[in-house]
Chains A and B, each alone.
Chain A
Amino acid sequence: MSRTSTTPARLRPPLATALFARRTWKEFAFIWTALPVAMLELCYLSFAFLLGLIAALSYVGISIAEAFAAGSRKLGTLSIRLARHQLGLEIADPPSPSAGATDADWATRMRGLATSRTIGFPLLHLPLAVLSWAGSTIVLALGAGLSTEWLVQLLGPGRVQIFGYVADTPLMHVVFTVAGVLILLFVWPAVNRGLAEFHGNVIARMLGRTPAEERIIELTNSRRVAVTDADATLRRIERDLHDGAQARLVGLAMSLGDAHERLARGDDPETVVALVESARTAATSTLAELRDLAKGIHPPVLDAGLEAALASVAAGSPVPVELDCRIAGRPSAVIETIAYFSVLELLGNVVKHSGAGRADVSVVQRGDRLVVAVADDGRGGAHVAFRDESGSGTGLAGLTGRARSVDGTLAVESPAGGPTRVTIELPMVVA
C-alpha cells in the first residue's frame, strides 16, 4: 500500500561476495544511468518553465503548459522504469491525470500543473543523482586505486598518489592493498547499495502512486466488479425466470386451456384427467423452482442471523461440516449476505472439486473485522483465476471481487495434495 517498496532481504547477496554479484553492478549501472536522465529532466523543466508556465498565464496557454506537464510525467516514467528494471523495485505507474480535468476552471488546472511530480522531482533528482554517482564512484575508485597501487608501482612507470599519500615502504604497500581490498569487498558494495536504494526509494516516493491514488484505483476496480456482478446477477435471474418458471407456467396455461375446452365439449374424461394432472405437476415444479430462485436472491433464514443461516447450510451439505461461529454483534446486512454466499460457494467447491471427507467453517469476529474461513481435507490445488486485473472472473476470483467491494480480502492456501483453507476477511460494518 505504501509508496516505497523495498527489496526482500533474501534477494540480497551476502556482503563478502557482493563485489562480484550481478545485482551490485546493476545498481552501479543504475546510478550512472540516472545521472544523464536527471540532467535531461532538469533541462526539460527549465525549458518547460520558460515556455509553458509563462504561456499558462493566458487561458489558451494553459493547454500548452498542461502538455508540458504531461511530458514531464512521461519523462518521470523513465526513472520509474529504470528503478524497476535495475533495482527490482516494485513501483506502480502513477495514474494518468484525472479524466475530465479539462472541464476544470483555470485555478484548478494551474494547481494541477505544479506538482511534486512535474516540478519537485526534476529539481531534487539532479542533486540526488550527482550525490549517488559521486559517492559510489569515488569509493569504488578509492578501493580500486588502493588495491592495485602496489601492482601499478611494480609494473608501471612511477609512484601512485592516493589523496596525497604515497606508499614507499612494503608495510605501507600491504596496508594500502589490504585497505583497498576491504573497501572493494565490503565498503563500496554497501555504499553503492545504500545510495542506489535511497535514490530508488525517492523515485518511488515522489513518482509512484500516493496512498490516495492507490485507494482511488482500488475503489474504481472494486466498484466495477460490484456493478458488473450486480448486472450479471440480474441477467441470470431473468434468464432463470424466462427458461424456468415462465416456461412452466406457459405449459400450465396450455394444459388448463386445453382441459377447459375439452370439458366444455364433453370430451373423454380420461384425456382431461391427464391434462389436469400434468397441469398440477407443472404448478408444483414451478413453485419449487420459484422458491429456489427466491432463496438464491435472499435466503429468508439470513434474517435470523448469519449463524442460523450457516447452520442450515451446514446441515444440508453432502460433506460433513463443522461450524464454529463466534460473533458478538451482528454485522451489516450486506456483510452477512456476502459471508453467507461466500461460504455457500466455497462449500460447493469442496463438494465438487476437493474430494474432501469433511469441511470446517469458522466465522470469528476480530475487533471490527469478520474472519470467515472454510477449510477441507481434500486434494488442494485451488487457485484464484482472474480473468483480468480488475478482479472479475469466476469462482474464487468472483468471491475475491465481492470481498474487495467492501474492502475485504480473500486468501487461499491450497498446496497440491491439500488441505485447502480459504480465508475471507470482511469489515463488520460497511462504511
Chain B
Amino acid sequence: MRVAVAEDSAIIRDGLVALLAGRGVEVTGAVGDGDSLVALVAQDPPDVVISDIRMPPGHSDEGLRAALRIKREHPATGVLLFSQYAETRYARTLLDASSEGVGYLLKDRVADVSTFIESVRQVAAGHVVLDPEVVTSLLGRRRADGPLAMLTDRELEILRLMAEGRSNSAIAVALFLSPGTVEKHITSIFGKLALPASSDDHRRVLAVLRFLAAGNASAE
C-alpha cells in the first residue's frame, strides 16, 4: 500500500510517517497543506491519502477541498480525512462526492495502531470507513418520520456498527449476539430500506448511505 500524508502539525505528521513506515506501508510523501497534497498526488498517485482537514493557509477546510479535488481527478485514490473534530457536515460532503474509497476518522484513532492501519487499507480498497463519533452524531439527529423510523432499536444499532465499517462477526461480538441473529437483522434492514438485491457488500454500502442521508435530512 502506498500512502500520501497531509498534516500541518509536524509532531503528528512525523509520527504518522514513522508509524506507517514501521508497518511496512510505503509513504510517497508528507506535506503540510492542501495544495501541496494535490500537487503530490498529481505527480505520483498513491493508493490512499491521509489528510488533515484544517490546514494552512485559511485553517478552515483546506484538507476537505483537497480531498474532493483528488477524488475528482484520481477516482482510484482513496481519501481518508483525519481530523481532531468529527463534523457531520464534512463527512456528508465527502460522501456526496464519492461513496467509494472514502473515510473520516478522528485523530484519536491512531492510538489503536492496527485498527487504524486496517482502516487505511479499507479506504485504499475502496470501502467507506467512518468514525464512531461521526456515526453517533448522525444517529442522534435521526428524524422520526425518516426512512429509518421503521427500524427497531436493535436494527439501528447494527446499522450503526455497519457504518463504522465492522464485519458481521465483529458486530456479533460487540452486541453479544450469534452471527446468525446478526445475519437475520441485516436481512431485515435491507428489506425495510427496500434495497435492491445485489452483492452483499454493495447493499451494505447503500444501507449505510441511506442511514447517513436520514441523519442529514434532519439537519437541514
Contact = CB atoms under 8 A, between A and B. Distances in A.
B112 A254 contact: no
A248 interface: yes
B110 A254 contact: yes
B113 A250 contact: no
B111 A248 contact: no
A255 to B, nearest CB: 7
Contacts of A251: 11-12, 15
B114 interface: yes
B9 A247 contact: yes
B12 A247 contact: yes
A253 B111 contact: yes
A250 B54 contact: no
Contacts of B116: 257
Contacts of B9: 243, 247, 250
A242 B84 contact: yes
Nearest to B9: A247
Nearest to B22: A258
Contact of B12 (A250, A258, A261): A250
A267 B16 CA distance: 19
Interface in B49-92: 54, 59, 84
Interface string B6-19: 00010110011001
Contacts of A242: 54, 84
Interface string A260-278: 1100000000000000000
Nearest to B14: A251
Contacts of B108: 250, 253
B107 interface: yes
Contact of A261 (B15, B107, B113): B113
Given A255-B15, A258-B19, A282-B11, A250 B107 contact: yes
Interface residues of A, number: 17
B11 A261 contact: no
A250 B84 contact: yes
Interface in B103-145: 107-108, 110-114, 116
Contacts of A282: 11
A256 interface: yes
Contacts of B112: 257
Interface in B19-65: 19, 22, 54, 59
Contact of B110 (A246, A248, A257): A257
Contacts of A257: 110-113, 116
B54 A253 contact: no
Contacts of B12: 247, 250-251, 254
Contact of B113 (A239, A243, A246, A258): A258
B145 to A, nearest CB: 37
A244 to B, nearest CB: 9
Contacts of B22: 258
Among A254, A257, A258, the one with the most B-chain Cβ atoms within 10 Å of its Cβ is A254
A261 B16 contact: no
Given A242-B84, A258-B19, A253 B11 contact: no
A242 B84 CA distance: 8
Nearest to B85: A242
Contacts of B111: 253-254, 256-257
A246 B111 CA distance: 13
Given A242-B84, A247-B9, A254 B114 contact: no
Contacts of B113: 254, 257-258, 260-261
A239 B8 CA distance: 13
A232 to B, nearest CB: 15
A25 B38 CA distance: 71
A258 B15 CA distance: 10
Contacts of B15: 250-251, 254-255
A242 B54 CA distance: 10
Contacts of B11: 247-248, 250-251, 282
B69 to A, nearest CB: 24
Nearest to B54: A242
Contacts of A255: 15
14 contacts: A243-B9, A246-B84, A247-B12, A250-B12, A250-B110, A251-B15, A253-B108, A254-B15, A254-B110, A254-B113, A257-B112, A258-B19, A258-B113, A260-B113
Interface of B: 9, 11-12, 15-16, 19, 22, 54, 59, 84, 107-108, 110-114, 116
Instruction: List the 6 closest A-B pairs by CB distance, nearest first.
Output: A253-B111, A247-B9, A257-B111, A251-B11, A250-B107, A257-B113
